[in-house]
Amino acid sequence: MKVKVLQNILDANTQMAQKNQRLLDNHRILALNIMASPGAGKTSLILKTIARLKDKTRIAVIEGDIASTIDADRISDQGVAVVQINTGGGCHLDANMVENALNNLKLNEIDLLFIENVGNLVCPAAFRLGEHKRVVLLSVPEGDDKPIKYPMMFTESEAVVINKTDLMPLLDFDLDAFKRKVIGLNPDVEIFQLSAKTGQGLDPWLSWLEAELKSLRA
């Protein structure tokens, strides 16, 4: 019984996600679902990307948090359109929440939309939002074992970003072992390694975004 209820919820969510994606496609917006544990650097990566791309790309952000507008305020300070979703305790975003947020954005004025999910490596992987690409961010202090502990997050994503590489010399993070585990789960995934703080390694990530934007427009 319980399983059936959950399946119905997921099916309804998938239908709403497809509706969101059609809306985004009609406006030629590339949407990314950014998923990670709390503190991995989702907002920092988005802010750094905004700083580098905002002169040539119109960016907007949907910020998912259990409470507060701290991250949305940081984004808004950069002059970028942002809509806050407070889930009131909910540990992931769903397609309904994103539909409401899309209704509060000027879609004709957006090329690239970041959807920052609630910090959590578990259930965000089960709920499609209408995004074109799913990006899981993993920071070096979290350790290289996360693909084994949270495999769904890595099998469901198109890109993996290893953040805080500036801390690599201080920690026992085995980069090759991490990549082997990720590729074992998801052979086609893109892997980026960077420091959102120092900006080191950011260029391949930006090039990937620009290539995806271009292919949406082709």
Task: Using CB under 5 A, list all residues that contact Mg ion.
Answer: 42-43, 71
3-state SS assignment for residue 111: coil
CB atoms within 10 A of CB 216: 16
Which residues of 154-205 form beta strands (DSSP E)? 159-163, 190-193
Task: Determine if 128 is a binding residue for Zn ion (CB under 5 A).
Answer: no
From the list Zn ion, Mg ion, none, partner contacted by residue 181 (C-beta under 5 to 8 A by kind): none
CB atoms within 10 A of CB 175: 14
Which residues of 11-163 form beta strands (DSSP E)? 30-35, 59-65, 81-86, 112-116, 133-139, 159-163
3-state SS assignment for residue 67: coil
From the list Zn ion, Mg ion, none, partner contacted by residue 51 (C-beta under 5 to 8 A by kind): none
Which among 2-10, 91-99, 152-160, 191-199 is the span making contact with Zn ion, rule CB under 5 A? 91-99
From the list Zn ion, Mg ion, none, partner contacted by residue 92 (C-beta under 5 to 8 A by kind): Zn ion
Q: Which of 123, 152, 168, 175 binds Zn ion (CB under 5 A)?
A: 123
Q: Which residue has the CB atom at the shortest distance from Mg ion?
A: 43
Toward Zn ion, which CB reaches closer, 41 or 124?
A: 124
Toward Mg ion, which CB reaches closer, 71 or 156?
A: 71
Q: Distance between CA atoms of 42 and 57, rounded to whole angstroms? A: 19
3-state SS assignment for residue 38: coil
Task: Give strand pairing partners of 82.
Answer: 61
From the list Mg ion, Zn ion, none, partner contacted by residue 91 (C-beta under 5 to 8 A by kind): Zn ion
Q: Which of 12, 70, 91, 211 binds Zn ion (CB under 5 A)?
A: 91
- Residue that the structure tokens 């993993």 belong to: 138
From the list Zn ion, Mg ion, none, partner contacted by residue 177 (C-beta under 5 to 8 A by kind): none
Toward Mg ion, which CB reaches closer, 16 or 113?
A: 113
Q: Distance between CA atoms of 183 and 80, rounded to whole angstroms? A: 34
With residue 64 as reference, give the H or E element that holds it.
strand 59-65
Toward Mg ion, which CB reaches closer, 33 or 43?
A: 43
- List interacting residues with Zn ion (CB under 5 A): 91-92, 123
